[in-house]
Amino acid sequence: MNNTLPSVVIVTQQRDQFEWLQSALEGTAEVVMSQQRDLNDVLQLINMATASIIFVPVRRDGWIEDVQFIEGLVAASPTLACVAVSDVLDQDRLLGAMRAGAKDFVTFASRPSELAGLVRRLGERVPEVIENPMRQGTMVVLASERPVLQSAFHALHVAAALQGKNPDARVLLVDIGQPFAEAQLLFGLEGQFSFMDTLRNLRRLDQTLVDTAFPRHKSGVRVLSAPREGMDMQEVTTSEMFLLVGTLRSLFTHVVVNICGLPTVDMTELLIGNANHIIFAVDQSITSCRAGLDFQSGLKQLGVPIADSMLLVDHYLPKISPDCKAIARSFAIERHVELPAAAELRLRAMNIGQLVFELAPQDPLAKKYRELADMIHMPAIAKSKAAAASTPTGFLDKLKSSLKGG
């Protein structure tokens, strides 16, 4: 989540209503959609999102039920600012909503400037929402538009390196990248409880469920995988993901999420937008770099907040152009790690289900994984003006031209 913007919630099952508010409040607030009408679920989402303002559509048919819902929200959370929304300024609905405790009543025809001004005014009037102290875990996302060979292998090594830095840490790998459930397969982590099962059991998600249902790698890392048969990400709602992310960060010190190969949908946008660190994964080929640049550019165009970024260049061959620094400059990312090919070591580790830390702890590949984990603990390095203003040549020109369609 973009920590500089306040959060507001809209309770609706209609995507167009969510997109209307999201567009109107762009740059003013981050909008979270709750498709649930259960009062307890909505209040839990508000808590996780640390939101102080909620928009509740008041329908033409069934408006009495909507007004009662507003009344319940206000009674349960007196400091919450409710805004009723309707297609028209209907007097009965307006009066009902205001009497129930709504702070204002707007229509879907309201101008964005009016809505932005309303949110700013309401934000000044309500008490400041204290960041949920439970949301303390660090989230690291390994991302790539294309499926990355051995992405689960990389993600588990980063998680294990973080675990190794602090034996008392609680580290979780969420392996939902493609191919699905690869970490379980590679390291013999059989588990019947999948990522989708977790979403269906959000109310039960606590330390007891983690200890009994999440497989534990011998490094100490817990693993939560996508089902092997795959999953339909369109079935995952924004509110479910918000609750899941908040709960996992309350239960773990570090949450490492592999989303390599997943399409850019609400779920992946939310994961990236909530992450403390993003690791963009590419290799040295121009096709991989082009796809990575397109992915990065697409996220920026969608307004997804991107946190501290790192670049992982896989199967790196130092004698082959472009070098890692050139690729990193094209992404405007200062911190980067090149993983050596180490084909024999990788294959041996995967075939016997062991980490490279166990087989060859001093191998350059093992050292690079630890270096990546060290970066997660380091403050982000500011981009220098000189680097930003430098004129790229050769491969960089080709990349930039390719990105622009030249």
**What are the residues whose beta carbons fall under 8 Å from the beta carbon of 235, sequence distance 6 or more?**
196
pLDDT at 304: 83
Cα separation, 307 vs 292, whole angstroms: 16
- Burial of 210 per CB tally in 10 Å (0-12, 13-18, 19+): buried
Helix H or strand E encompassing 199? helix 195-200
Measured N-to-C along each axis, helices 395-403 and 324-331 cross at an angle, to the nearest 10 degrees, of 30
Q: 134, 99 in Cβ contact below 8 A?
A: no
Per-residue pLDDT tens over the stretch 5-24: 889 999 999 999 999 999 99
**Confidence check: pLDDT of 389 > 50:** no
Per-residue pLDDT tens over the stretch 137-188: 999 999 998 887 799 999 999 999 999 999 899 999 999 999 888 998 888 8
Average pLDDT, the chain: 86
Least confident window among 52-66, 176-190, 322-336: 176-190
Give bridge partners of residue 7 from the DSSP assignment.
Answer: 30
* Tokens describing residue 336: 């980067």
pLDDT at 127: 54
Q: Enumerate domains of the chain plus CATH numbers.
A: 7-125 (3.40.50.2300), 138-403 (3.40.50.300)
CA angle at 179 for the pair 173 and 180, rounded to the nearest 5°:
55
**What are the residues whose beta carbons fall under 8 Å from the beta carbon of 111, sequence distance 6 or more?**
none
300: Cα separation from own chain's centroid:
14
* Tokens describing residue 222: 């817990």
Q: What's the mean pLDDT in 320-325?
A: 93
Q: What's the mean pLDDT in 391-396?
A: 44
Q: 9, 51 in Cβ contact below 8 A?
A: yes
Per-residue pLDDT tens over the stretch 264-274: 777 888 899 88
**Confidence check: pLDDT of 384 > 90:** no
Cα separation, 343 vs 170, whole angstroms: 31
Q: What's the mean pLDDT in 325-345?
A: 95
